[in-house]
């Protein structure tokens, strides 16, 4: 029997990752590129690279894209970081170029599906995946199935009189707990003249500071970096408490770059959630990292192909 | 064929309602009593009244109870207004007294199930029911099935630095948008000496003022009453926007006493939700009243009996 492959693409924002993945969830090849100003061209190029040598074995293409996705029809209704894709029927576009079926889903929903298929979620019947990166996304599994809902938990207001979000809402969780929030708060503090080792990074060009820089500096004991991460973590915990009170999951599975900062960012989140969520519900939930690491996104996109029908619909 | 009946009980807080309902969702008899200091005795009395004359036809007893309910095992884990029921196995207790099967569920979850069975929800595949009364509850239907989750949307923080809620969380939606919030804000304003016709109600005993008094006064043009209702409605809209962004429902169905104040309370909620939710999701949702009126609670409890299996489990 010929082994079956799929091409799995994770288009979160700045970077687009693509991988050749087999039906056991093993990543065989992976490539990455800046999404750039022509996201469709980037997609075609990355998929083309993987497709050319493996066309006969490719069973389908799974696309995980940040934003509001009409997965039934394959259309990107809105994407926060890839605005050029608005109203594009990616399914049709990619099926035009490659002779195989294409499935498209919101990236965090795909991540939840990937967790269920090949990650930490295998052990849980009801869980929520949070993707913690530039923004914050969510995917919900109930009774082992992906809920066919937007799950835009990063755009839940936790501070109704707070700051304006680009999405139109006010006080979104993402504004207080994402990598972008962490960087923004660190840069603001540096601009005000607060003391920190970060001042000397990139010859004082604060705008080049990354979330990873902040985390590493925090590990070295930098007070500003620690405070900024802790505050963001605490806000994440407020969001997690809301999720627990609404969805009473068995687990909240965390993925994305910020999970690396577990002890300074996630631990305060867990502490805050424990104080805020209903005791009866908090007692039953585990807040844990994904086992899939950097591959969570592409594994999720692959799950769209190998685990259809993918929703309770 | 003998007609099948069930006894349906809605135990929300202050009052407990019980009804004899047939398998078409028709309410044949209904009775109501103060829940009082011995809720179990009240339950047994109300059920006993309906059971005695109809024992042969009673197919089951459905209990809709406010709080965190372990419906698999029939246990009340926590109830905000009926603390005596904490950790009581109501299923066992009631089955002991009456020779028929008992199903217990959170009251707002039951309401959602009732909407699907016999109310406005019949026309929608994915919807959220909000019960707007002393507190705010929620029930979620996805793919025509009740999600087996807590759905405690009233205890979603929308103001993370706000007031302490009895549930342990801070800034819960319920603190800003429920009947209790409306009354509390009106009384505070009256105590500060703000002008309003409400001052003269109950010989100036502000603590007797009800949400209905406030609504009627608002209809008469009272500025304080109007302002209090509008502010609560706006806050409800913030909660509804969060629900839309997370659950992307086809409909949000509103039930409970406050729905009567549609034009002054719900309309501002709809306006706020329209500004805050993702446009793409808001465009697809209808925010509408339940068609079941005061019977929504008992119809929901009856649905637990006549429409099992009741969840996606």
Question: CA of A312, closest CA in chain B: separation in Å?
Answer: 7
* pLDDT, tens only, A232-259: 999 999 999 999 999 999 999 999 989 9
H/E segment holding residue A33: strand A27-34
pLDDT value at residue B309: 44
* pLDDT, tens only, A274-288: 999 999 999 999 999
Task: Residue A138: name the closest of A117, A119, A152, A124 by CA.
Answer: A152
Residue B34's pLDDT band, with cuts at 50, 70 and 90, is very high
Among A155, A242, A276, the residue with its CB nearest the CB of B168 is A276
User: In chain B, which residues have their Cβ closer than 8 Å to the Cβ of A241?
Assistant: 157, 169
Please give the Cα distance from B197 to A182 (Å, whole number).
50
pLDDT value at residue B3: 81
- By mean pLDDT, which of A103-107, A305-309, B185-189 is the weakest? A305-309
> Do A278 and B150 count as a contact with CB atoms less than 8 A apart?
yes
User: In chain A, which residues have their Cβ closer than 8 Å to the Cβ of B174?
Assistant: none
> Do B142 and A159 count as a contact with CB atoms less than 8 A apart?
no
Does the pLDDT of residue B311 top 80, yes or no?
no
Residue where the block lists tokens 């629900």? B243
Residue A286 CB burial class (10 angstroms; 0-12, 13-18, ≥19) = middle
Residue A308's pLDDT band, with cuts at 50, 70 and 90, is low
pLDDT value at residue B193: 95
> Do B280 and A68 count as a contact with CB atoms less than 8 A apart?
yes
Structure token digits, residue A244: 């627990």
pLDDT value at residue A313: 33
Please tell me whether the peptide bond between B104 and the residue prior to it is cis, using omega within 30 degrees of 0.
no
Residue A1's pLDDT band, with cuts at 50, 70 and 90, is low
pLDDT value at residue A228: 98
Among A155, A238, A278, the residue with its CB nearest the CB of B245 is A155
Among B78, B169, B281, the residue with its CB nearest the CB of A150 is B281
H/E segment holding residue A117: helix A107-118
* Cα A225 versus chain centre, distance: 23
CATH level 3 topology of B5-113+295-306: Nucleotidyltransferase; domain 5 (3.30.420)
Q: What is the chain A residue with the closest CA to B147?
A: A142
Picking from A142, A160, A312 by the largest number of B CB atoms within 10 A of its own CB, the best residue to mutate is A160
Q: List, by residue range, all CATH 3.30.420.40 domains of chain B.
A: 5-113+295-306, 123-290
Question: CA of A303, closest CA in chain B: separation in Å?
Answer: 21
* The CATH number fitting domain A5-114+295-306, selected from 3.30.420.40, 3.20.20.70, 1.10.3720.10, 3.50.50.60: 3.30.420.40
Q: Could you tell me the pTM of the whole model?
A: 0.93
pLDDT value at residue A311: 42
Q: Please, what is the average pLDDT of chain B?
A: 93
Task: Residue A86: name the closest of A103, A108, A64, A70 by CA.
Answer: A70
Provide CATH code, domain A123-290. Answer: 3.30.420.40
Report ipTM for this prediction.
0.93
Q: List, by residue range, all CATH 3.30.420.40 domains of chain A.
A: 5-114+295-306, 123-290
Report the DSSP beta bridge partners of residue A62: A8, A103
User: In chain A, which residues have their Cβ closer than 8 Å to the Cβ of B247?
Assistant: 149-151
> Do B150 and A235 count as a contact with CB atoms less than 8 A apart?
no
* pLDDT, tens only, B76-120: 998 877 788 899 999 999 999 998 999 999 999 999 999 999 999
Residue where the block lists tokens 């929300």? B12
- Mean pLDDT, residues A199-204 taken together: 94
Does residue A44 come out as left (phi exceeding 0), alpha (psi in the -120 to 50 range) or beta?
Answer: alpha
pLDDT value at residue A309: 44
């Amino acid at each position: 029997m010929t082994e079956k492959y799929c091409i799995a693409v994770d288009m979160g924002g700045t970077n687009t990752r693509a991988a050749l993945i087999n039906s056991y969830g093993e990543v065989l090849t992976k490539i990455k590129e800046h999404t750039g100003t022509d996201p469709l061209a980037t997609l075609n190029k990355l998929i083309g690279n993987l497709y050319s040598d493996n066309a006969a074995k490719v069973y389908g293409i799974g696309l995980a894209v940040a934003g509001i996705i009409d997965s039934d029809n394959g259309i990107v209704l809105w994407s926060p970081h890839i605005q050029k894709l608005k109203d594009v029927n990616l399914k049709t576009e990619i099926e035009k170029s490659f002779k195989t079926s294409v499935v498209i889903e919101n990236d965090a929903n795909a991540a939840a599906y990937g967790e269920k298929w090949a990650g930490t979620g295998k052990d849980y019947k009801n869980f929520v995946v949070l993707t913690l990166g530039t923004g914050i996304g969510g995917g919900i599994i109930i009774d082992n199935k992906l809920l066919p809902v937007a799950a835009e938990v990063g755009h839940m207001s936790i501070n109704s009189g707070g700051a304006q979000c680009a999405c139109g809402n006010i006080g979104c969780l993402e504004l207080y707990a994402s990598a972008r929030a962490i960087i923004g708060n660190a840069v603001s503090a540096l601009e005000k003249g607060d003391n920190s080792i970060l001042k000397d990074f990139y010859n004082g060009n604060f705008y080049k500071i990354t979330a990873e820089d902040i985390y590493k500096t925090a590990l070295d004991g930098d007070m500003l970096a620690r405070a900024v991460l802790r505050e963001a973590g605490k806000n994440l915990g407020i969001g997690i408490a809301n999720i627990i009170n609404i969805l009473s999951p068995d687990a909240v599975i965390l993925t994305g770059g910020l999970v690396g900062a577990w002890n300074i960012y996630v631990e305060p989140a867990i502490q805050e959630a424990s104080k805020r969520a209903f005791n009866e519900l908090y007692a039953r939930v585990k807040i844990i990292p994904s086992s899939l690491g950097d591959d969570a996104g592409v594994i999720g996109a692959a799950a769209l192909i190998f685990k259809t029908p993918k929703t309770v619909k």
